[in-house]
């Protein structure tokens, strides 16, 4: 399969595209508004512990407190707390027990299990009571043997169990997580909308070939390595390199690598951990960032690049040099595949994915058969609606529905992967009467989702034609949008325009100005006017960076989402747009300036403007037309005296 990585690096943003068979399948971007925080390690402070929801909130210095679920607590959490409380924190001096997972007592429901004063009732007795039948001979023999057993034997056994429990006393979660205490956490899911990051106490450092686990004391090999002989070789190799006090996980890309490659990668990770220990030894007060993971480009190269990729195309010379040096260090034989893009043509246009990049931000996705998809985002889930459109000429209703649904299933799997949509997704397919056809659509979805690296679960189609999908979500989607909960809406769900009362004693000109609907339109309509201007600008084949001057309130509205509206415009129209806030501009108006500082919002104007429409300007309005003088009647010219009649 032909694969390549295309990287577009600009001043304020970097975009990474994964291409398979000349089709865009994945896309990532990184900039000042959405910096990558996945994998960062913090020394946080526990804010609240809520046993009723099995979670705690941790302050790590971000806008919102991080969410720590009890299921994300590692088994070696007592060892981590002991490591943090040491005077000189160092992994090599912390004693690791043989089975640390037995030291945590988790509160789990019994799920209906019957318990009495002596403990849980035997299953045979429960079965007997439910069925009402007599016990079998084997059960009667077991019961008589238990009755004949000496009492001191049972007491000795119970005493032995108590001694074993005293050797490893269980520790409750309330003891490990106390409000105000310090805790070492790692971000496993980036913040989305108003929700904070999700963190875990399972601390690890990922490299190219191995993953270093402090206080782990175990060796594991990736399950994707199928060969038993290779797995055994890598396990033995990792055990020989394992440092004291650490665990090691061998990654899939380590298949076929020698000891030198694994040892070099592990030593780099050890140096990173030593820097973390040094920060902890300085007694830094939480919250503090201990380790910042690599950038988005480095993580993509580290985790995805393999022998299957034919090339890495980069349009930035400096980034090209850094990536090539890294590839030359870890895999010298594939370093020539890193290429630099030169020329006036955009790098996405050269890779023939420019149209796919624009379609990734559209809510409508057209299908080859004539049907189309509508993808919408709500607070709780993503919703996909399948429409037949003009497809299916000459086919029966069932055949047409099946054909469109199968094509939609392939397109949905592709769009979810491309847009990185996570959480709950509900798909409304066209109704199918035959159960076999429903099964075909379900199988097609599962087959397409096997290509996705994210963990995805699909439920069969319901009687209403709905398919429920859950997809792993680690970062915000590239098309994530959030709506303000305080906006007024009309009956049809659209934002309502604000109407203000006009005093009766104002002059007529002022009243007409206040009644101008443009002055009280919603921010969404202002954004729509900006986008229409950009469409006309690109339709005229104009290029170059632009500066958008708006009121600070409008600027906040444009940058409130992740990604922001400016980011979407930059990706859609391939323009660099710089936002400038100006208090003197009306909140409902805007101005675009070119590189030279000329106002190009309206044609044939170079002076600065505040975005006032041409029809409202004194110098740009329609010229006053003088009323035409009615034509004179035919006859003697005016002003000449009429001749007198001759006298007889």
CATH number at residue 600: 3.40.1260
Q: Judging by DSSP bridges, how do beta strands 546-550 and 466-471 pair with one another? A: unpaired
Do 461 and 526 fall into the same domain?
Answer: no
The total of other beta-carbon atoms located within 10 Å of residue 297's CB is 24
Do 395 and 467 fall into the same domain?
Answer: yes
429: confidence class by pLDDT, cuts 50, 70, 90: very high
* Last residue of one domain, picked from the residues 424, 456, 471: 471
What pTM value is reported for the model?
0.61
* Residue 642 belongs to a domain: no
Do 316 and 373 fall into the same domain?
Answer: no
Q: Tell me the C-alpha distance between 351 and 17, whole Å.
A: 10
| Length of the chain (residues) | 648
Q: Structural domain of residue 447, as residue ranges?
A: 368-471
For 91-122, how does the pLDDT look when each residue is reduced to its tens digit (9 = 90+)?
877 666 544 444 454 444 434 443 443 444 44
* Residue 139 belongs to a domain: no
* Residue 588 belongs to a domain: yes
413 vs 648 pLDDT, higher one: 413
> Measuring CA to CA, which residue among 416, 433, 426 is closest to residue 365?
416
Residues 6+ apart with CB under 8 A from 176: 73, 77, 78, 81, 104
Q: Judging by DSSP bridges, how do beta strands 577-581 and 41-50 pair with one another? A: unpaired
Instruction: Please check the confidence at residue 494 and state whether its pLDDT lies above 50.
Output: no
* Residue 427 belongs to a domain: yes
Supply the pLDDT for residue 201: 93
SS3 readout for 21-84: CCEEEEEEEECCCCCCCCCCEEEEEEEEEEHHHCEEEEECCCCCCEEEEHHHCCCCHHHHHHHH
Do 451 and 541 fall into the same domain?
Answer: no
Do 182 and 79 fall into the same domain?
Answer: yes
Two structure tokens written together for 205: 């450092």
Supply the pLDDT for residue 136: 56
Q: Beta strands of 450-524 (E only): which ranges?
A: 456-458, 466-471
Q: Tell me the C-alpha distance between 549 and 431, whole Å.
A: 49
Q: Judging by DSSP bridges, how do beta strands 171-172 and 104-105 pair with one another? A: parallel
* Last residue of one domain, picked from the residues 471, 499, 527: 471
* Last residue of one domain, picked from the residues 471, 499, 533: 471
Do 188 and 81 fall into the same domain?
Answer: yes
For 501-518, how does the pLDDT look when each residue is reduced to its tens digit (9 = 90+)?
333 333 443 344 444 444
Q: Omega before 287 cis (within 30°)?
A: yes
Do 221 and 80 fall into the same domain?
Answer: yes
Candidate ranges 39-43, 119-123, 391-395, 488-492; pick with highest mean pLDDT:
39-43
For 223-255, how does the pLDDT look when each residue is reduced to its tens digit (9 = 90+)?
889 899 999 999 999 999 988 889 999 998 888
Do 273 and 193 fall into the same domain?
Answer: yes
**For residues 27 and 368, is the Cβ–Cβ distance under 8 A?**
no
Q: Which whole number is the average pLDDT over 208-236?
A: 91
Q: What is the distance, to the nearest Å, from the Cα of residue 50 to the centroid of all Cα atoms in its chain? A: 26
* Residue 644 belongs to a domain: no
Do 73 and 181 fall into the same domain?
Answer: yes
In 415-446, which positions are buried (b, 16+ CB within 10 angstroms) versus exposed (e)? bbbbbbbbeebebebbebeeeebbebbbebbe
Do 543 and 583 fall into the same domain?
Answer: yes
Do 343 and 439 fall into the same domain?
Answer: no
Do 412 and 328 fall into the same domain?
Answer: no
Domain count, the chain: 4
* Residue 163 belongs to a domain: no
CATH number at residue 83: 2.40.50.140
CATH number at residue 328: 3.30.420
Q: Judging by DSSP bridges, how do beta strands 219-221 and 546-550 pair with one another? A: unpaired
* Residue 544 belongs to a domain: yes
Angle at 501 between CA 500 and CA 502, to 5 degrees: 115
Burial of 587 (C-beta count, 10 Å sphere; 0-12/13-18/19+): middle
Supply the pLDDT for residue 140: 52
* Residue 496 belongs to a domain: no
The total of other beta-carbon atoms located within 10 Å of residue 560's CB is 14
């Amino acid at each position: 399969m032909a694969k390549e990585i295309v990287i577009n690096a600009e001043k304020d943003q970097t975009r990474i595209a994964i291409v398979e068979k000349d089709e865009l399948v994945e896309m990532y971007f990184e900039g000042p508004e959405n910096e990558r925080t996945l994998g960062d390690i913090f020394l946080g402070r526990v804010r609240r512990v809520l046993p009723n929801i099995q979670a705690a909130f941790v302050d790590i210095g971000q806008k919102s407190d991080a969410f720590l679920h009890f299921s994300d607590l590692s088994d070696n959490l007592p060892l981590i707390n002991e490591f943090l409380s040491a005077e000189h924190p160092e992994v090599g001096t912390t004693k690791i027990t043989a089975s640390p997972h037995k030291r945590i007592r988790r509160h789990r429901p019994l799920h209906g299990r019957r318990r009495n004063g002596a403990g849980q009732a035997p299953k045979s007795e429960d079965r007997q009571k439910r069925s009402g039948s007599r016990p079998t001979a084997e059960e009667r023999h077991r019961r008589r043997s238990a009755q004949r057993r000496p009492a001191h034997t049972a007491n000795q056994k119970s005493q032995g169990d108590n001694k074993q429990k005293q050797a490893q006393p269980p520790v409750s979660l309330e003891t490990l997580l106390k409000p105000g205490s310090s805790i070492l956490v790692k971000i496993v899911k980036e913040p989305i909308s108003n929700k904070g990051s999700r963190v875990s106490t399972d601390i690890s450092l990922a490299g190219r070939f191995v993953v270093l686990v402090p206080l782990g004391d175990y060796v594991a090999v990736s399950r994707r390595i199928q060969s038993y002989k290779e797995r055994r070789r890598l396990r033995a190799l990792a055990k020989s390199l394992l440092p004291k006090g650490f665990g090691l996980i061998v990654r899939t890309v380590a298949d076929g690598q020698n000891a030198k490659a694994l040892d070099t990668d592990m030593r780099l990770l050890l140096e990173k951990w030593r820097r973390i220990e040094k920060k902890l030894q300085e007694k830094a007060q939480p919250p503090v960032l201990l380790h910042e993971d690599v950038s988005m480009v480095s993580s993509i190269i580290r985790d995805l690049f393999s022998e299957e990729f034919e090339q890495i195309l980069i349009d930035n010379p400096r980034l090209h040099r850094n990536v090539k040096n890294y590839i030359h260090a870890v895999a010298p034989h594939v370093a020539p595949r890193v290429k630099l893009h030169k020329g006036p043509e955009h790098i996405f246009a050269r890779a023939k994915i420019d149209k796919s990049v624009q379609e990734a931000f559209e809510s409508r996705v057209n299908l080859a058969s004539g049907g189309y998809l509508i993808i919408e985002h709500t607070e709780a889930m993503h919703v996909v609606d399948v429409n037949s459109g003009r497809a299916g000429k000459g086919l029966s209703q069932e055949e047409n529905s099946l054909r469109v649904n199968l094509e939609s299933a392939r397109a949905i799997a592709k769009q979810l992967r491309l847009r990185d949509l996570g959480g709950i997704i509900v798909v409304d397919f066209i109704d199918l009467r035959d159960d076999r056809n429903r099964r075909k659509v379900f199988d097609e979805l599962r087959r397409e989702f096997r290509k996705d690296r994210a963990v995805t679960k699909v439920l069969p189609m319901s009687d209403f034609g709905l398919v429920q999908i859950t997809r792993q979500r680690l970062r915000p989607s590239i098309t994530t949008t959030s709506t303000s909960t305080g906006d007024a809406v009309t009956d049809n769900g659209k934002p309502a325009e604000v109407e203000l009362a006009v005093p009766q004693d104002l002059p007529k000109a002022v009243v007409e100005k206040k009644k101008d609907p443009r002055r009280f339109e919603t921010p969404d309509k202002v954004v729509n006017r900006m986008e229409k201007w950009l469409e006309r600008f690109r339709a005229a084949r104009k290029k170059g960076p632009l500066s958008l001057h708006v009121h600070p309130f409008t600027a906040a509205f444009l940058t409130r989402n992740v990604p922001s509206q400016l980011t979407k415009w930059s990706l859609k129209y391939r323009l660099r747009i710089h936002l400038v806030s100006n208090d003197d501009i009306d909140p409902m108006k805007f101005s675009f300036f070119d590189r030279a500082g000329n106002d190009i919002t309206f044609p044939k104007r170079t002076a600065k403007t505040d975005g006032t429409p041409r029809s409202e300007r004194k110098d740009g309005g329609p010229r006053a037309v003088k009323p035409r003088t009615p034509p004179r009647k035919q006859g003697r010219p005016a002003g000449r005296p009429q001749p007198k009649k001759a006298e007889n």
